[in-house]
């Protein structure tokens, strides 16, 4: 079962109370009708339950919503042959920023493990309002999906939309900042398809910190496409000084890589896979190992080794 803390409903986040239901829609009345049987009924139920943002709820409203949404989850779990098709349509069509994208994605992942539903959840999470969800909840959900082979490129790049994105990992006494969180998710995917999308995001990005996070990700990528992007950024006089400086340093460091001798065994492809598997663990030790593996890949690529 969901918990409000997991979904971002911590008491410290509360603000001014507002009316949360759409005019003319009563969640209690809808609840009495039982599980939605048609798409129209499902849509009406979702509108009634999720027309709000967590930051705007009072204690009383939060308690009411908690009970209503728990009941909704119970209904959806009752007959998944009927509920899953309805849920999938609502997630695909939910508007940008709706809290249903957050809670509905978790509901879907609790009901289904098929790859198509995992991909649908990842795509929905990429359209969430990150202020509605704890950074840690979002990160670990997207990270798990990446490790499971799902293309989470859009959801990963969405991390850049919240400048306050921080993930606490108390068991390792560490906190992942925006750069580290982005790196973790992107490199946990099975391939490097994200590089093109990241380059497109960079071209549209105006935030300096987000640009620097993308530059760091390009360096971690260790692909010809990412190398070319770093060189382009380093030579682009229109880029902020800090961004160009980061790119230049990464390019120069790659040229010096041949002088080292890190003891990491395997081909570039094998080390890339070792690195991906190491990132299944979220810890400072894993980050340290990944840095060494990346350095070794840079050394081998600079020598023309495969």
Tens of pLDDT along 128-165?
Answer: 999 988 999 999 999 999 999 999 999 999 999 999 99
Query: Helices 39-50 & 59-78, crossing angle to 10 degrees?
Result: 160
Residue 19, pLDDT above cutoff 80:
no
**pLDDT computed for residue 257 by the predictor:** 60
pLDDT at 55 over 80: no
Rounded mean pLDDT, 284-303 = 91
Alpha-carbon distance 265 to 275, whole Å?
Answer: 12
Per-residue pLDDT band at 13 (split at 50, 70, 90): very low
Higher pLDDT among residues 2 and 197, named by residue: 197
Burial of 96 (0-12, 13-18, 19+ CB in 10 A): exposed
In this predicted structure, the answer to whether residue 260 has a pLDDT above a threshold of 80 is no
Q: Mean per-residue pLDDT for 50-66? A: 83
**b/e sequence 145-156, b meaning 16+ C-beta within 10 Å:** bbbeebbbbbbb
User: Looking at the predicted structure, is the pLDDT value of residue 5 above 60?
Assistant: no
CB 271 within 8 A of CB 293: yes
Tens-place pLDDT, residues 109-127: 999 999 999 999 999 999 9
Residue 279's pLDDT is 96
Confidence of residue 28 (pLDDT cuts 50, 70, 90): low
Beta-carbon contacts of residue 7 (< 8 Å; ≥ 6 apart): 54, 102, 103, 106, 133, 134, 137
Please, which pLDDT band fits residue 105 given cuts at 50, 70 and 90?
A: very high
Query: What confidence score (pLDDT) does residue 303 get?
Result: 86
- Distance (Å, whole) CA 43 – CA 6: 24
* Residue scoring higher pLDDT (169 or 258): 169
Mean pLDDT, the chain, rounded, equals: 87
**pLDDT given at position 132:** 87
Each residue's pLDDT tens digit, 178-194: 999 999 999 999 888 99
Q: Identify which of 20-29, 116-125, 162-171, 252-261 has the greatest average pLDDT.
A: 116-125
Per-residue pLDDT at 9 exceeds 50: no
Whether residue 273 is predicted with pLDDT greater than 90 in this model: the reply is yes
pLDDT at 64 over 60: yes
CB 166 within 8 A of CB 175: yes
State yes or no: pLDDT of 167 exceeds 90.
Answer: yes
Helix locations, 148-206, DSSP H: 153-157, 178-188, 194-204
Q: Where does the pLDDT of residue 278 fall: very low under 50, low under 70, confident under 90, or very high at 90 and above? A: very high
Q: Are 125 and 47 contacting, i.e. CB atoms less than 8 angstroms apart? A: no
Residue 254 has pLDDT above 90, yes or no: no
- The residues facing 167 across adjacent strands are 176
The answer to whether residue 256 scores a pLDDT higher than 80 is: no
Query: According to the model, what pLDDT value does residue 29 have?
Result: 55
The pLDDT assigned to 258 comes to 55
Residue 253 reports pLDDT greater than 90: no
Q: In the structure, what pLDDT confidence band is assigned to residue 235 with cuts at 50, 70 and 90?
A: very high
């Amino acid at each position: 079962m969901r918990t409000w803390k997991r979904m971002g409903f911590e008491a410290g986040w509360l603000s001014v109370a507002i009316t949360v239901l759409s005019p003319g829609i009563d969640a209690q009345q809808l609840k009495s009708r039982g599980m939605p049987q048609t798409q129209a009924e499902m849509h009406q139920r979702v509108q009634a339950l999720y027309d709000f943002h967590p930051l705007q709820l009072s204690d009383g409203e939060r308690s009411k919503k908690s009970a209503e949404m728990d009941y909704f989850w119970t209904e959806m779990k009752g007959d998944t042959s009927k509920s899953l098709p309805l849920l999938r349509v609502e997630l695909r069509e939910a508007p940008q920023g709706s809290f249903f994208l957050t809670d509905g994605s978790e509901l879907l992942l609790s009901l289904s493990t098929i790859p198509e539903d995992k991909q649908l959840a990842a795509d929905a999470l990429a359209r969430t309002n990150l202020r509605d969800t704890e950074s840690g909840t979002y990160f670990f959900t997207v990270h798990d999906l990446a490790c499971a082979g799902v293309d989470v490129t859009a959801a990963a790049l969405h991390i850049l939309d919240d400048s306050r994105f921080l993930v606490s990992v108390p068991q390792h006494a560490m906190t992942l900042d925006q750069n580290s969180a982005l790196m973790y998710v992107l490199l946990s995917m099975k391939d490097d398809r994200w590089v093109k999308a990241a380059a497109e995001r960079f071209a549209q990005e105006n935030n300096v910190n987000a640009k620097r996070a993308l530059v760091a990700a390009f360096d971690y990528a260790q692909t010809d496409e990412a190398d070319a992007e770093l060189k382009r950024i380093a030579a682009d006089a229109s880029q902020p000084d800090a961004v160009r400086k980061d790119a230049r340093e990464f390019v120069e460091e790659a040229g010096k890589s041949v002088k080292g001798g890190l003891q990491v065994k395997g081909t570039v492809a094998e080390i890339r896979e070792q690195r991906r598997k190491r990132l299944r663990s979220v810890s400072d030790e894993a980050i340290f190992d990944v840095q060494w593996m990346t350095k070794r890949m840079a050394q081998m690529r600079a020598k023309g080794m495969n």
